Chains A and B, each alone.
Chain A
Amino acid sequence: MAFLDTYNTPLNASAAAHLLRRATFGPTRAEIESFTGKTAIQAVDILISNVSYRASPPPPVEMNASRSDAGLPFLNNPLTANPVLNYDYSNYIKFWWIGLMAEQNGRPSVLEKLTAFWQNHFVVIYSAVQDYRFIDRYLRLLRSNALGNFRELATAVSKDPAMLIFQNGNESTKEHPNENYARELQEIFTVGQKDFYGNHNYTEQDVKAAAQVLTGWQAKNLRKAGTTQIETVFTPDRHDSSDKTFSSKYSNAVVTGRSGSMAGDEELADLIAMLLGHPECPKFICRKLYRWYVNPNVTQEIEDGVIVPLASFFASASNNFEIGPVIKKLLSSNVFFDTSNVGAIIKSPAELMIGTVRFFDVPVPDLTTQYVYFEKLTRFLNDSMKLLQLELLDQPTVFGSPAYFQTGYSKNWINETTIGIRGKRTDTLVASNVEVKAGELMGVDIFGRLKKIQPNFSDVAGTPAITCEQVLDEFLRNLFAVDISQSQKDFLIDSIMMMNSSPRSTWMKEWDYYRSAPNDTSKQAAIIWRCRALLRFMLRMAEYQIF
């Protein structure tokens, strides 16, 4: 059974949950149920076709209720001279994106997770650009091309105004070519620094030559108050029109020097074609996708059995660097569903925080009509992710977040401090003071959930109470990617839920007291107290940190 062959077993709940955890920021339970029984191909097709539902969501709005244009879009306004407003707008763009990741509209899709992949690949950070319009344009470019063609994406990114600012292309002229982008384009965007065996994929001379090819591009109207448009311009006078010769790593390719207004585009097309023609380029991209979606640990067997064939499919004449088919192939493959790859990644802060919101159906308020509450929830998520060392649209380096490239990969999310913060933040998701609707606090709906598993709720005398074991099973269902032992279950019931002080039967009494007087707050309190303790503990367990 070859790694990349299609996984043909109909998805059981665990496999459906696995697919949804990896392809999105985490499933709701309804999504798991609706995907159960489908084939991998059917499931992935749905995840891809659902992209169209959110291809053009309503734009971000002013979320500060005290401002006169609260609730209104701001992207088409002339650039404000007020730095506070500029910064707030950049946050709203981030919140807008987080809202799309977290919302539960019944249409799970690969879009936001894949966009996040590209945002961590073709990194641009707000701190370096400091003009929200550039970040908006860049994010939209990634989002609308996430499933498109890699050649087009790499080309567009290379002259994206935000990238020109971040990687200094803006200042690169024929007299003084700036090597920053030329290096990153090769090292981290296309061919990769080294191949799987440690051989260099390009030389320092190739960096210099690529820098010459890329001279002449500039971004217009950065931070220029009052302007309504940003754009990229090419100035032939700033462009080096000589021939650029590359090393044997690129088969001694020459990018013919051009002059005139189309010189930049023509040479860029040649350069991208040369980079994509490098045999390591498709492997580099496919290896990174594998690490993102399947397992950061790429063994020789995986290199030979997954990366190499997937790369040759990616670069094949028939596919021609289309991204969508590669995602489909990978997410519906045997290797993706192999049990050894379940739980093989530590959740990023996004998978942890947004995943929890989705799993417990914490409602995401409507951006346009409930912007005050929308802002509260998404700001909480953004602040949490930041504390946990994930800054969307503001990674610490051009390489992205360390957990995606540093030795140890996803283990980098965990240290003594982040373990503590993760726990604090998931505690807050279980119960909080964060309002998500007027009068409604963010948290897990414990009663709603338990009432569903209690038959004949009101018939206290005739129908026995649900047991501790049933309560635990209800909260455990699809919560973890891996099974836990019976001794762990006993510990959760006796030491956490019953707090080492009461027998299990006490729970049934307390539950029946509540059934008899469901509006009595003191009866509710006993239930809430035990269930929240249980949930908080479970979300702090090592098992909840992997997916």
Chain B
Amino acid sequence: MMVPLMLDGFGIKSFAKGSTLVQSLRQTAALNSDRVLVMIYLAGGNDGLNTVIPLEHYSKYYDLRSNIAIPETSVLKLAGAPETGFHPVMTGMRSLYDEGKLAVINSVSYPNPDQSHYRSTDIWMTGVDSNQYATSGWAGRYLNDRYAGYPVNYPNSEMEDPLAIQIGQISTTALLGNSQGMGVTIQDPNAFYQLIGEGTARVDTSLPCCDAGDLLAYIREKQVLAVGYAAEIKAAADAGTNLAAYPDASMNNELADRLKIVARLIHGGLKSKIYYVELGGFDTHSGQVGSTSVEGTHAELLKKLSDGIAAFQNDLKLQGIEDKVLGMTFSDFGRRATSNASKGTDHGIGAPMFVFGTGIKRQMIGTNPDLVNGLLPELPTVGVSNRDIKMQIDFRRVYGDVLNDWFGTANSKTDQILFKDFKTTSLFSDVVQSISSGSWANPEIWSNGRVPTALTQIKINSGHIVEVGQNITAKELKIDAGGKLKFLGDYGVKIAG
């Protein structure tokens, strides 16, 4: 290991990697930068409406999808959110919600949504507008910025571990950097080590022209990185321990198996910033439910998701590293509000994302989809029975919050990574901000997509005029210079404090 850093004239490289001095230096350097993101991709397009059920519109919900509707009495209730519930198999995630460790971001999508699996997934992975294209992933661009020059001279003393790890098979677009993948894809640390060993791949620098040369360089780079990282990953897997019970092998919960590896690697001290795992099978055009609506394909998938996340979070807690890990789910798109005749759902638009961990500051972004007045098309023509769930939150606002508030990226950098400035959702903030002018009672003008209550700390941003047509109460209200509350009548503000 080459360490260029000099300390009192002594080359630190003369110390063993495990020495106390080196360890303490590494830990100091790691402060504030040891946060980890775990991305969980639900492949196929998850049916949001049978995942997070808008109890306040239950009868309309039932009308839209009577052949697959979850019975009202079976829906799991959430602490402090009686208007919303979870699918009955999601007991683990319900507990996390009740403990304040899980957030629901409602009706997430993007403008002009695309209903092709491939294209829509690509949009989520690359983080672009639906009429733009990028060859790099949003998380890959973040890592590319944070670790400039990768993979040249990596691994090195400042980052001896992979920047990101995907537990799976085919490498994800989300982790593609500007010129190559920023992550290492493995199925299992020990198998990976056995596969790669500490072999001596020879690097030849001569390359033929054209695409063949480009491909050879790419493959050789992967060979070198694989060797460079295999031992580090194995060491972390050996040092880490799973302390919680995970679903046993008979459950065939591949997501839990993968998250278990992730927890072990993080606990074992691997410095990778992003982990990526997948659970497939969500493209439920038919047979989404079984003989009853609380069983069948979708119930099995949600059970895997919920059991996996709950075991993982519990493991992190027992390992004492709960505070440094944040988890996030996403999917291709939501599914249609209206079910089809095959006990399934076709491709749709908005659907919930889940964000979990102790780092979140609020648990409900946006509101239940308004199934009564808020479906698309807004004015269905005669004969159109299919209705979709309208977007409330652009997914890039969540990415932006993760980059800014979780990873501590400078706002201007985040804007570059996401190609523009997206408004916060206040997911990691105690303060709700105005994001545009408009009526106080309009949830869309507030960063968290909800009308403020007496418990909300509010900031009116510069340039925003918020019109008040009622008496209002807030916990705290701050008005930036250039921001304004405009009273439409004889109304008052009460600060609950």
A193 contacts partner chain B, Cβ-Cβ < 8 Å: yes
A419 contacts partner chain B, Cβ-Cβ < 8 Å: yes
Question: Bound state CA distance, A424 and B225, in angstroms?
Answer: 18
In contact, B225 and A542 (Cβ under 8 angstroms): no
In contact, B170 and A343 (Cβ under 8 angstroms): no
- In the assembled complex, how far is the CB of residue B400 from the closest CB belonging to chain A, in whole angstroms? 23
A270 contacts partner chain B, Cβ-Cβ < 8 Å: no
In contact, B215 and A419 (Cβ under 8 angstroms): no
Question: Bound state CA distance, A415 and B181, in angstroms?
Answer: 9
Give every chain B residue within 8 A of A176 (Cβ-Cβ): 340-342
Question: Bound state CA distance, A173 and B131, in angstroms?
Answer: 33
In contact, A420 and B216 (Cβ under 8 angstroms): no
- In the assembled complex, how far is the CB of residue B121 from the closest CB belonging to chain A, in whole angstroms? 10
Give every chain A residue within 8 A of B169 (Cβ-Cβ): 389, 417-418
Interface residues of A in 378-429 (CB under 8 A from B): 389, 396-399, 402-403, 405-408, 410-412, 414-421, 423-424
* B14-22, B184-192, B268-276, B430-438 - the one binding chain A: B184-192
B147 contacts partner chain A, Cβ-Cβ < 8 Å: no
In contact, B202 and A420 (Cβ under 8 angstroms): no
Question: Bound state CA distance, A546 and B116, in angstroms?
Answer: 31
Question: Bound state CA distance, A84 and B212, in angstroms?
Answer: 44
* B74-82, B203-211, B319-327, B457-465 - the one binding chain A: B203-211
Instruction: Identify the closest chain A residue to B187 (Cβ).
Output: A417
Question: Bound state CA distance, A171 and B122, in angstroms?
Answer: 29
Give every chain A residue within 8 A of B212 (Cβ-Cβ): 342-344, 481-482, 546
Give every chain B residue within 8 A of A483 (Cβ-Cβ): 208
Give every chain B residue within 8 A of A545 (Cβ-Cβ): 215, 219
* A147-155, A274-282, A307-315, A484-492 - the one binding chain B: A484-492
In contact, B222 and A414 (Cβ under 8 angstroms): yes
B210 interface neighbour in A179, A193, A340, A399, Cβ under 8 Å: A340
- B-side interface size class: 35 or more
In contact, A343 and B202 (Cβ under 8 angstroms): no
Question: Bound state CA distance, A483 and B216, in angstroms?
Answer: 12
- In the assembled complex, how far is the CB of residue B388 from the closest CB belonging to chain A, in whole angstroms? 10
- In the assembled complex, how far is the CB of residue B280 from the closest CB belonging to chain A, in whole angstroms? 7
- In the assembled complex, how far is the CB of residue A422 from the closest CB belonging to chain B, in whole angstroms? 10
A50 contacts partner chain B, Cβ-Cβ < 8 Å: no
Give every chain A residue within 8 A of B256 (Cβ-Cβ): none
**B contact face: mostly helix, strand, loop, or mixed:** mixed
A410 interface neighbour in B135, B181, B215, Cβ under 8 Å: B215
Give every chain B residue within 8 A of A482 (Cβ-Cβ): 208, 212, 216
Interface residues of B in 178-198 (CB under 8 A from A): 181, 184-187, 192, 195-196
In contact, A168 and B210 (Cβ under 8 angstroms): no
In contact, B176 and A419 (Cβ under 8 angstroms): no
B211 interface neighbour in A183, A340, A405, Cβ under 8 Å: A340
Give every chain A residue within 8 A of B280 (Cβ-Cβ): 396
Instruction: Identify the closest chain A residue to B136 (Cβ).
Output: A407
A198 contacts partner chain B, Cβ-Cβ < 8 Å: yes
In contact, B215 and A546 (Cβ under 8 angstroms): yes
Interface residues of A in 174-194 (CB under 8 A from B): 175-176, 178-180, 183, 187, 193-194
Give every chain A residue within 8 A of B131 (Cβ-Cβ): 198
Question: Bound state CA distance, A297 and B211, in angstroms?
Answer: 8
In contact, B340 and A178 (Cβ under 8 angstroms): yes
A473 contacts partner chain B, Cβ-Cβ < 8 Å: no
Instruction: Identify the closest chain A residue to B342 (Cβ).
Output: A171
Question: What total of A-B pairs shows CB separation below 8 Å?
Answer: 150
- In the assembled complex, how far is the CB of residue B301 from the closest CB belonging to chain A, in whole angstroms? 15
- In the assembled complex, how far is the CB of residue A130 from the closest CB belonging to chain B, in whole angstroms? 12
Give every chain A residue within 8 A of B173 (Cβ-Cβ): 406-407
Give every chain A residue within 8 A of B230 (Cβ-Cβ): 416
Give every chain A residue within 8 A of B347 (Cβ-Cβ): 179, 183
Give every chain B residue within 8 A of A331 (Cβ-Cβ): none
In contact, B133 and A198 (Cβ under 8 angstroms): yes
Give every chain A residue within 8 A of B35 (Cβ-Cβ): none
- In the assembled complex, how far is the CB of residue A160 from the closest CB belonging to chain B, in whole angstroms? 18
Given the interface pairs A487-B204, A495-B202, the reply to whether A543 lies near B171 with Cβ below 8 Å is no
Question: Bound state CA distance, A403 and B229, in angstroms?
Answer: 24
Given the interface pairs A178-B341, A344-B215, A411-B215, the reply to whether A419 lies near B210 with Cβ below 8 Å is no
- In the assembled complex, how far is the CB of residue B224 from the closest CB belonging to chain A, in whole angstroms? 10
- In the assembled complex, how far is the CB of residue B291 from the closest CB belonging to chain A, in whole angstroms? 17
Give every chain B residue within 8 A of A407 (Cβ-Cβ): 122, 135, 173, 176
A295 contacts partner chain B, Cβ-Cβ < 8 Å: yes
In contact, B286 and A341 (Cβ under 8 angstroms): no
A204 contacts partner chain B, Cβ-Cβ < 8 Å: yes
B117 interface neighbour in A339, A397, A415, A546, Cβ under 8 Å: A397
A346 contacts partner chain B, Cβ-Cβ < 8 Å: yes
Given the interface pairs A171-B341, A178-B285, A396-B280, the reply to whether A416 lies near B192 with Cβ below 8 Å is yes
- In the assembled complex, how far is the CB of residue A311 from the closest CB belonging to chain B, in whole angstroms? 22
In contact, A399 and B222 (Cβ under 8 angstroms): no
B115 contacts partner chain A, Cβ-Cβ < 8 Å: yes
Give every chain B residue within 8 A of A198 (Cβ-Cβ): 131, 133
Given the interface pairs A343-B211, A344-B210, the reply to whether A546 lies near B219 with Cβ below 8 Å is yes
Tell which of A345, A405, A416, A491 has the most Cβ of chain B within 10 Å. A416
For A516-547 the 0/1 string (1 means CB < 8 A from B) is 00000000000000000000000000110110
Question: Bound state CA distance, A196 and B341, in angstroms?
Answer: 36
In contact, B118 and A405 (Cβ under 8 angstroms): yes
Question: Bound state CA distance, A368 and B280, in angstroms?
Answer: 38
Interface residues of B in 148-173 (CB under 8 A from A): 169-171, 173
Give every chain B residue within 8 A of A341 (Cβ-Cβ): 210-211
In contact, A344 and B211 (Cβ under 8 angstroms): yes
In contact, B220 and A542 (Cβ under 8 angstroms): yes
Give every chain A residue within 8 A of B133 (Cβ-Cβ): 198
Question: Bound state CA distance, A546 and B170, in angstroms?
Answer: 18
In contact, B285 and A542 (Cβ under 8 angstroms): no
For B219-241 the 0/1 string (1 means CB < 8 A from A) is 11011011001100000000000
- In the assembled complex, how far is the CB of residue A266 from the closest CB belonging to chain B, in whole angstroms? 23
B206 interface neighbour in A175, A207, A487, Cβ under 8 Å: A487
Question: Bound state CA distance, A397 and B122, in angstroms?
Answer: 14
B346 contacts partner chain A, Cβ-Cβ < 8 Å: yes
B218 contacts partner chain A, Cβ-Cβ < 8 Å: yes
In contact, B222 and A419 (Cβ under 8 angstroms): yes
B171 interface neighbour in A297, A415, A491, Cβ under 8 Å: A415
Question: Bound state CA distance, A509 and B204, in angstroms?
Answer: 30
Interface residues of B in 339-372 (CB under 8 A from A): 340-342, 344, 346-347
In contact, A178 and B170 (Cβ under 8 angstroms): no
Question: Bound state CA distance, A345 and B118, in angstroms?
Answer: 22
Give every chain B residue within 8 A of A180 (Cβ-Cβ): 285, 346
Instruction: Identify the closest chain A residue to B228 (Cβ).
Output: A416
Give every chain A residue within 8 A of B420 (Cβ-Cβ): none
B486 contacts partner chain A, Cβ-Cβ < 8 Å: no
Give every chain A residue within 8 A of B185 (Cβ-Cβ): 415-418
Question: Bound state CA distance, A186 and B133, in angstroms?
Answer: 21
Tell which of B122, B173, B218, B229 has the most Cβ of chain A within 10 Å. B218
Question: Bound state CA distance, A406 and B175, in angstroms?
Answer: 13
Tell which of B115, B187, B204 has the most Cβ of chain A within 10 Å. B204
In contact, B195 and A417 (Cβ under 8 angstroms): yes
A343 interface neighbour in B204, B208, B229, Cβ under 8 Å: B208
- In the assembled complex, how far is the CB of residue B127 from the closest CB belonging to chain A, in whole angstroms? 13
7 A/B residue pairs, CB under 8 Å, sorted by A: A176-B340, A176-B341, A178-B340, A403-B170, A407-B176, A410-B215, A417-B192
Question: Which 5 pairs between the two chains have the least Cβ-Cβ distance?
Answer: A343-B212, A176-B341, A420-B195, A344-B211, A416-B226
Binding site for B on A (CB under 8 A): 168, 171, 173, 175-176, 178-180, 183, 187, 193-194, 198, 204, 207, 295, 297, 339-346, 389, 396-399, 402-403, 405-408, 410-412, 414-421, 423-424, 481-485, 487-488, 491, 495, 542-543, 545-546
- Additional A-B contact list (4), CB under 8 Å, known A178-B286, A416-B229: A176-B342, A416-B196, A420-B196, A546-B219
